[in-house]
Every structure is written in C-alpha cells, then in structure tokens.
C-alpha cells in the first residue's frame, strides 16, 4: 500500500467508514497514519479499593458485597451494588446494561476497570469494564491509543484500521537526513509512526514522539528560512505616509492609546516610510488592544490610495471587526467591505467585483480572502489577526495576493523571546506589554461543581445589573452524545434553573455560519444575557459588556486555552469575573487552576504551567492550541524546537545541498509542506 492509496484498500474499511473517516479529513493511507492518538489508555496494576481517588481510572479486584439491583430512572436503567476487597468497599454502577444483572454472580472474583467519580459526597466506580485475567495480564503497562473521534466511528474501528494499514504500508525513504538523525539521536520515521500508534511502553512513546515533533519543527523552520531568504530588506513599491486621517482616528477614539499601542504604531509608521517591505508581528496579551493598531495601519494604506485587507479565523470575528472599522472609517470617507464564506454567491460576486475595480479600500474577511477568484488592486498591506490559527502557508498565500505587500500579523500567544525569534524568524516584533489602564483586573475563582448553584445566582445578579455572561459548556465524553446535543441539553437545563427573565442562547461549532453569526450579533447587541457555548468563542471576540466567564470542566483544558477563554471578559471598565468550574477537585488539578486564580498574565500562566508539570510530563493536556503543529507543543517541546531550528539553519546555509540526490525525499516533503516548488 502506497501513501496516496485510498483508505478503501484497507481491510475492513467500506463505503460507510470511508465517509466517516473523510469527516476527519482522512482519505489516504498516509493521512490515516498521520492521524495520531490524542492520548493513551494505560492499564495500571490492581489497587486496593481503599486507595482510589476521585478522577482516577483504576482496576480493582474483589467480589460483590451486595447483590446488584436494578432501578429505572426515566429512560435509564441503572444497575448498582457494592464491591469489596480486603481493604474496603465502594459503590459501583452501570447504566443501560440490564443483562449484567443475570451474569454477575455473588461470591465470584472480578476485575473491574473504571473511573472513580464523586456522587453525593461518596466515591463511586462508574460504568466499569469487567476484565478477564488474560486481558489484564496482556494489557498491563501497555499504552492503548485513544483517537479523536467523530460520531459513528469508534475508537476500536480506528485502532483496527491503523493496525491493518501499518501492516501493508510501504514507507518511503526517511526524509530526515541521516546525519541529523544521528546528531540528535532520533529514531527512523517508519519506526516512529508505528510506535506512536502502538507504543510498547512510555519510553518508546516518548522517543517516537520526540522524533515526530522534531520533524514537524524541522520542516517548519526550513520553510521559514527559505521564506526569509527571499524576503530580507526587499524594496517596497508602496511607500505609505501616515497623514491626517490616522490622526483624526486617534482623536475620535473614546480612549487614549496605551504606551504599547503607541510604540507598535510608531514601528509600523517607520516601516511604512522606510521604502522596504514591512514584515511585522504585534504580540500582545488578550485584551491589550491590538485591533486598533491594525485599524490605523489599514487606514494609512487606504489613505495613500492603496488597498488593504485583514484576515481573521472566524466569521464571527470578521463581522465584528468589520462593524468596528465601519464605525470609524465611514466618517473618514474610507470604504470597507466584508467578505465571508456564508454570504450568498451573488453577494460574494458583488463584493469581489468591487474589490477588483478598487471601489473598496479595506477588506475584512476569513480565508475567503485568499481564494483564487479574489483579485485585488494595488494591495499594499495584508493583516492577519490571531495568526496562530493560520499556517505559514496561508499567511504567504495572503501576501501573494499582492506584489510584495506590507505584512502585519497579530498574536496573543505569550511566548518567550528566544522562541519568538525562531517561530517568527521572518518577522520583526512589536510587543504591547500593558493592558489599558482603565481595566480592573479580572477576579478569578477555581471551584468544584458543588459551587454551581451559587455561580448561577451570581450570574443572575450580574445580568440584573445589565451585564452579560458566557458559559463554556462541559466537554463531551467520547461515545456519549455529540457536542451539539450537549450544548443544547445544558442550555435547556439552565433555562429551568435560572429566572425566566434571563435570556439564554447557545452557540456550537456544528451550527451553520449564518446561525452562529446571528447569535453572536444578538449577543453583541445585548439581546442575549447568557451565552452557552463550546470553545468556538475562544478567539478574539470582543463584547466589553460581558463580565462573567464560567468554564465547566476547566480541568480538561490547557492553561493557555483557559487564559484565552478568560480573555473574553475584562474588556470593559466594569469589574469582571472568571469562574473555573472543575469536575475534579484533586490536589493537582486545583493547584494547576490556582495558577490562573492568582494571575491574569498570560505569559506568567504559560511559564508556571510548565514548571508545575515539568517537561517530562508528556501526557499532559496540550497547552498552546497552536494549529501549526499536530503533535508538537511550543512550550513543552521548546528544546526540540531549538534543536530543529539549529539543524535547519545549518542546512539552509548551503542552499545547494537540497538538490543532492540523497536529499531528494526531503525536498519532496518540503514541496508538499510549503505547497510550492522550492527554487
């Protein structure tokens, strides 16, 4: 089986599973093998019942202390009993498995594996699997892959497909040159792929992961260095002077620019006037006010008779930016337009026509902006907001829409300078390091679920004072209902609990773009009091009147992502609050959440998280949420990032080497990585 062969050739994959896999973006054998497990399930040795803790997945061995009994609660059949070993006993329950009633025997010894939960103040083993002695002996200590799934596709099915693909797959030559592999002690690609799916033990997993992380960083760094070579101090056709209108805009703002904003704007002005192409990153924590800096840059370009465009990752954010721009641009006579995927074909055609004929000065949109049919006229500036949501490739394609336009990218990812130089090697950096001074620091609290009723009362009070709130819905367990159902159920249940005057709506990733946009606009207009949502609202959304953020299952998110979510509040002058609701109040979890409780500084949060977990913790929650990388995590794998970059630098010094026969496979890999032929 070859890389590009369809997954239909894999044993056991028929038409139906083919469709399901396609939903995960998997159509070829190569894509299937690059679909890495999200985490691993490990069988730990049997432990005494008395030693189990909330949240742990444990195996216990013993017999029933009470006869299993069945109860029906609504449509649910619950089987419950007590289980004991020499150290103590624990309640056990199974849902909707009535047939167990007959097969479970008193006096027999059983091995049960399940997760320990706290119910009504006592620990309980929920829905455990009954293991045979052989199963236990075979699996002990081994890592079972757990894949990110889609409805209809079980973990078992994916595991089987991967296993049979691996048997027949013909791996191509390792594209990572042997000398580099030796120098950094990296395993071969083939072995790494096999191991990442089915690791024998933790060490094997760690080694395989390191190799794959390295290769991701290496390709990335190499691509970046080639890009940079073509870019250094390129003369620009577009010399832009800031002029009167930017001054007028600054005057029209309801606030004074902070020092950081002013500095960033000075940097941009200097770049614009320099006669060279600008390649600049603006790094500033959530809420530091990056939008207004971008707005000034867009305005300056427009005022000089050029076009400018700003690309954002979601439609919701695009609409919001568009409205904000319109507010200030209309009085200044600047023509802005919005271009997003959910517009009708006719609407899009109309806007695209106006862009091509330069009846529009500034365009705001999602990645529709880089579609082939969109042609610009004298595009002098491209701005990418929330750039971590875009790949290097998209950023470059955006720039490719003009003739060496100035480029501005904005990011809220707090990373240390040493890493920033590598990750943004091709960019100059301006940092906005202070939040606007009229902000009150967000008040945080990390609590267990027993606090939930109080949290609802608190939100009601805030709503009564005219404020709004977000609730990030609990995450779904695999194989339970879908994300969408989950959000809807949660919304229904809180509508019952909250006072009827509180207007509650929901938002989730499976909604049509148009529906999402409508809900978000209504929230912006204040027509919704509480918005229940998945993490789709994580990036960039700005509703200064929202003062409460409550995050359910906070224990399941990375700290960096929690910090981004928290960034949706504290954007106005009123006191804001963030409630981290944790389904698990173990010491480790609470310690982790306390980092957020104690600080609102994203940079500090990211650093503390690493110190707490230590770089050895490979099973932790993925932190950065950066989409550049599949496995790699810029915080956790900082060392590999440095090494891969060092290797890439050495490599690019002698550009010619990439043409040697022995680097042919690397060259091919690079070409598909950057989407263009390297010359």
Helix axes 559-566, 602-613, angle to 10 degrees: 160
CB of 261 to ligand ADP, least distance (A): 6
Q: Which is nearer to ligand ADP, 288 or 576 (CB)?
A: 288
Q: Rounded distance, CA 423 to CA 342, Å? A: 32
Residue count, binding to ligand ADP (CB under 6 A): 20
SS3 for 261?
helix
Among Mg ion, ligand ADP, none, the one that 438 touches (CB under a kind-dependent 5 to 8 A) is: ligand ADP
Among ligand ADP, Mg ion, none, the one that 377 touches (CB under a kind-dependent 5 to 8 A) is: none
Q: Which is nearer to ligand ADP, 213 or 249 (CB)?
A: 249
Among Mg ion, ligand ADP, none, the one that 478 touches (CB under a kind-dependent 5 to 8 A) is: none
Q: Which is nearer to ligand ADP, 112 or 295 (CB)?
A: 295
Q: By Cβ distance, which residue is nearest to ligand ADP?
A: 289
The yes or no reply on residue 145 touching ligand ADP (CB under 6 A) is no
The yes or no reply on residue 313 touching ligand ADP (CB under 6 A) is no
The yes or no reply on residue 526 touching ligand ADP (CB under 6 A) is no
Report helix, strand and coil shares of the chain as percent, to nearest 5.
45, 20, 35
Q: Which is nearer to ligand ADP, 205 or 390 (CB)?
A: 390
CB of 369 to ligand ADP, least distance (A): 19
**Contact stretch for ligand ADP (CB under 6 A) within 8-16, 121-129, 262-270, 286-294:** 286-294
Q: Which is nearer to ligand ADP, 444 or 584 (CB)?
A: 444
- For strands 76-85 and 88-95, give the pairing: antiparallel
Q: Side by side, which strands form the sheet with 530-533?
A: 443-448, 577-582, 546-551, 468-472, 530-533, 504-507
CB of 169 to Mg ion, least distance (A): 43
Q: Rounded distance, CA 581 to CA 164, Å? A: 41
- Sole binder of ligand ADP in the list 179, 247, 438, 591 (CB under 6 A): 438
CB of 437 to ligand ADP, least distance (A): 7
Helix or strand (DSSP H, E) at 495: helix 483-497
The yes or no reply on residue 145 touching Mg ion (CB under 5 A) is no
Q: Rounded distance, CA 620 to CA 636, Å? A: 10
Question: Quick one: which of 363, 337, 328 has its CA closest to 249?
Answer: 328
Find the binding residues for ligand ADP in span 42-101 (CB under 6 A): none
Do residues 452 and 493 make contact, with C-beta atoms less than 8 angstroms apart?
Answer: no
Residue 435 to residues 355, 365, 416, 440, Cα–Cα distance (Å):
35, 26, 18, 10
The yes or no reply on residue 567 touching Mg ion (CB under 5 A) is no
CB of 327 to ligand ADP, least distance (A): 10
Q: Which is nearer to Mg ion, 177 or 540 (CB)?
A: 540
**Contact stretch for ligand ADP (CB under 6 A) within 249-257, 473-481, 500-508, 523-531:** 249-257
Q: Which is nearer to Mg ion, 540 or 620 (CB)?
A: 540
Q: Rounded distance, CA 562 to CA 565, Å? A: 5
The yes or no reply on residue 292 touching ligand ADP (CB under 6 A) is yes
Do residues 613 and 596 make contact, with C-beta atoms less than 8 angstroms apart?
Answer: no
Q: Which is nearer to ligand ADP, 240 or 294 (CB)?
A: 294
Residues β-bridged to residue 61: 111
Do residues 595 and 581 make contact, with C-beta atoms less than 8 angstroms apart?
Answer: no
**Contact stretch for Mg ion (CB under 5 A) within 231-239, 397-405, 533-541, 652-660:** 533-541
- Sole binder of Mg ion in the list 287, 540, 567, 620 (CB under 5 A): 540
Q: Rounded distance, CA 635 to CA 279, Å? A: 24
Gyration radius of the chain over CA positions: 27
The yes or no reply on residue 645 touching ligand ADP (CB under 6 A) is no
The yes or no reply on residue 286 touching ligand ADP (CB under 6 A) is yes
CB of 409 to Mg ion, least distance (A): 12
Among Mg ion, ligand ADP, none, the one that 246 touches (CB under a kind-dependent 5 to 8 A) is: none
**Contact stretch for ligand ADP (CB under 6 A) within 83-91, 298-306, 521-529, 536-544:** 536-544
CA angle 458, 461, 462 (to 5 degrees): 90
The string of DSSP letters for 517-536 reads HHHHHHHHTT--SEEEE-GG
CA-based torsion, 277, 279, 284, 290: positive or negative:
positive
Do residues 300 and 238 make contact, with C-beta atoms less than 8 angstroms apart?
Answer: no
Residues β-bridged to residue 283: 411, 431
- 444: tokens are 């945080």
The yes or no reply on residue 544 touching ligand ADP (CB under 6 A) is yes
The yes or no reply on residue 365 touching Mg ion (CB under 5 A) is no
The string of DSSP letters for 358-371 reads T--SEEEESGGGGS
CB of 634 to ligand ADP, least distance (A): 20
Among Mg ion, ligand ADP, none, the one that 600 touches (CB under a kind-dependent 5 to 8 A) is: none
Q: Which is nearer to ligand ADP, 52 or 520 (CB)?
A: 520
Q: Which is nearer to Mg ion, 540 or 583 (CB)?
A: 540
Calculated CA dihedral for residues 506, 507, 513, 515, nearest 10 degrees? 0
Q: Rounded distance, CA 145 to CA 167, Å? A: 17
- Sole binder of ligand ADP in the list 177, 284, 405, 570 (CB under 6 A): 284
Strands (E), 491-639: 504-507, 530-533, 546-551, 577-582
**Contact stretch for Mg ion (CB under 5 A) within 53-61, 470-478, 540-548, 554-562:** 540-548
Question: Quick one: which of 410, 390, 393 has its CA closest to 296?
Answer: 410
CB of 257 to ligand ADP, least distance (A): 5
How many other CB atoms sit within 10 Å of the CB of residue 275?
12
- 229: tokens are 């070579």
CB of 265 to Mg ion, least distance (A): 16
Among ligand ADP, Mg ion, none, the one that 284 touches (CB under a kind-dependent 5 to 8 A) is: ligand ADP
Residues β-bridged to residue 93: 80, 126
The yes or no reply on residue 436 touching ligand ADP (CB under 6 A) is yes
**Contact stretch for ligand ADP (CB under 6 A) within 129-137, 197-205, 281-289, 576-584:** 281-289
- 355: tokens are 């862009």
**Contact stretch for ligand ADP (CB under 6 A) within 22-30, 225-233, 345-353, 538-546:** 538-546
- Sole binder of ligand ADP in the list 195, 258, 624, 643 (CB under 6 A): 258
The yes or no reply on residue 287 touching ligand ADP (CB under 6 A) is yes
Q: Which is nearer to Mg ion, 402 or 540 (CB)?
A: 540
- 301: tokens are 């370009």
The yes or no reply on residue 291 touching ligand ADP (CB under 6 A) is yes
Q: Which is nearer to ligand ADP, 46 or 524 (CB)?
A: 524
Give the footprint of ligand ADP on this chain (CB under 6 A): 255-258, 261, 284, 286-292, 412, 436, 438, 540, 542, 544, 571
């Amino acid at each position: 089986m070859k890389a590009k062969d369809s997954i239909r050739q894999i044993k056991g994959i028929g038409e139906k599973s083919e469709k399901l896999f396609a939903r995960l973006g998997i159509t070829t054998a190569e894509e299937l093998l690059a679909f890495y497990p999200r985490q691993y399930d490990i069988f730990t040795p049997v432990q005494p019942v008395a030693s189990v803790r909330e949240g742990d997945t444990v195996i216990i061995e013993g017999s029933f202390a009470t006869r299993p009994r069945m109860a029906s609660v609504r449509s649910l059949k619950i089987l419950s009993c007590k289980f004991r070993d020499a150290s103590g006993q624990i309640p056990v329950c199974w849902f909707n498995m009535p047939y167990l009633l007959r097969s479970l025997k008193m006096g027999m010894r059983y091995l049960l594996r399940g997760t320990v939960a706290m119910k009504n103040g006592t620990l309980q083993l929920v829905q455990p699997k009954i293991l045979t002695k052989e199963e236990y002996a075979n699996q002990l200590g081994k890592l079972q892959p757990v894949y990110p799934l889609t409805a209809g596709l079980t973990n078992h099915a994916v595991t089987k497909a991967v296993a049979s693909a691996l048997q027949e797959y013909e791996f191509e030559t390792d594209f990572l040159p042997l000398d580099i592999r030796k120098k950094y002690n990296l395993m071969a690609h083939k072995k790494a792929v096999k191991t990442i799916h089915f690791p024998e033990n933790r060490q094997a997993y760690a080694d395989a992961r390191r190799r794959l992380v390295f290769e991701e960083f290496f390709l990335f760094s190499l691509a970046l260095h080639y890009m940079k070579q073509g870019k250094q101090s390129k003369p620009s056709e577009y010399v832009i002077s800031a002029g009167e209108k930017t001054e007028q805009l600054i005057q029209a703002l309801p606030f004074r620019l902070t020092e950081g904003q002013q500095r960033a704007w000075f940097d941009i002005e200097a770049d614009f006037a320099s006669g060279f192409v600008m390649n600049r990153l603006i790094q500033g924590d959530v809420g530091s006010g990056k939008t207004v800096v971008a707005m000034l840059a867009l305005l300056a370009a427009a005022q000089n008779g050029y076009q400018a465009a700003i690309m954002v990752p979601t439609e919701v954010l695009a609409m919001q930016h568009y409205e904000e721009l319109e507010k200030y641009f209309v009085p200044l006579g600047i023509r802005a337009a919005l271009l997003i995927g959910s517009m009708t074909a006719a609407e899009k055609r109309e806007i695209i026509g106006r862009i091509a004929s330069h009846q529009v000065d500034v365009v705001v949109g999602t990645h529709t902006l880089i579609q082939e049919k969109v042609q610009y006229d004298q595009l002098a500036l491209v701005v990418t907001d929330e750039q971590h949501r875009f790949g290097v490739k998209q950023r470059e394609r955006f720039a490719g829409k003009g003739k060496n336009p100035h480029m501005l990218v904005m990011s809220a990812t707090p990373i240390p300078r040493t890493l920033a130089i590598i990750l943004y090697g091709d960019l100059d950096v301006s940092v906005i390091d202070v939040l606007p001074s009229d902000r009150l620091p967000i008040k945080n609290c990390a609590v267990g679920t027993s606090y939930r009723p109080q949290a609802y009362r608190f939100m009601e009070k805030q709503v009564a004072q005219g404020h709004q709130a977000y609730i990030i819905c609990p995450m779904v367990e695999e194989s339970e209902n879908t994300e969408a159902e989950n959000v809807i159920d949660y919304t229904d249940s809180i509508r019952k609990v909250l006072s009827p005057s509180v207007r509650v709506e929901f938002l989730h990733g499976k909604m049509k773009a148009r529906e999402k946009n409508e809900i978000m606009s209504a929230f912006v207009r204040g027509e919704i009091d509480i918005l229940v949502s998945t993490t789709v609202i994580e990036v960039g959304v700005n509703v200064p009147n929202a003062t409460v953020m409550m995050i359910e299952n906070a224990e399941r998110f990375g700290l960096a992502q929690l910090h981004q979510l928290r960034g949706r509040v504290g954007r106005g002058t009123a006191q804001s609050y963030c409630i981290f609701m944790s389904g698990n109040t173990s010491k480790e979890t609470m310690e982790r959440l306390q980092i957020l409780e104690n600080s609102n500084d994203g940079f500090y949060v990211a650093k503390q998280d690493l110190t707490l977990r230590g770089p050895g913790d490979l099973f932790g929650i993925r932190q950065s949420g950066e989409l550049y990388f599949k496995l790699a995590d810029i915080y956790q794998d900082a060392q590999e990032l440095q090494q891969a970059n060092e290797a890439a630098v050495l490599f690019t010094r002698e550009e010619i080497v990439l043409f040697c026969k022995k680097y042919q496979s690397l060259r091919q890999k690079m070409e598909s990585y950057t989407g263009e032929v390297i010359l």
